[in-house]
Structure 1
Amino acid sequence: MITLGAGVALTVLAAGMLTVAGALVARYRAGNAADSGALAGALFAFDGEVAACAAAGRLVGENGAWLVACAVAGPIVTVSVDVRTSSGLTVHATARAGPVMAG
């Protein structure tokens, strides 16, 4: 009986660890997708919000994420993305990109 209880406990612990690991991987994927989407959008910021957000959306999708929001304020592009884990959790990330100001 103790062996069965220990086996169940180990199984539950392993499932929990896999869920946490999946969430961590999704967090990094979401961050990378948001960063690359914002950078892609910033390349087209002066062509307007439609062009900038289309470029951001393409790169976000190629990184396995969904574009949730995209905004252009002058040369600055802000992108928000979601990534779903295999366990059904949703991870959110936001990034902003624009020109570097010399100072």
Structure 2
Amino acid sequence: MDAPAKPVAIPQSEIALLANILALATRNMTNLSTLITQLSVELGHSPDPHLQRVGQRVLADVDVLSKSLDTQWELIGALARYCPLLARTPLVKPTLVTEIHITVLPDRA
């Protein structure tokens, strides 16, 4: 019977590369979420009630996505303990729109 193979240690530079790829992908998803939020707000200003409802639904969906992205940022930050280089380069998490102030409500038909 053969002895089990020893796990291969991944060099820290490869972990840093993976962490940077994950951070870039997460940053891009965060930026896309911000754009979708802005579009949803614009839909909410539409005179068309259907478009207003779509905008409101999408805002609720983006809120759920935002929470998942927060978790993803935390997990990426946790990679710092495996890669000292990553620990010296703080991950900057872009902020999503978390609150919208509405000053004029659309007319309800």
Whichever structure has more strand as a proportion of its residues is 1
Whichever structure has more helix as a proportion of its residues is 2
Taking structure 2 as the reference length, the TM-score comes to 0.45
Taking structure 1 as the reference length, the TM-score comes to 0.47
Higher RCO (C-alpha 8 Å, min separation 6): 2
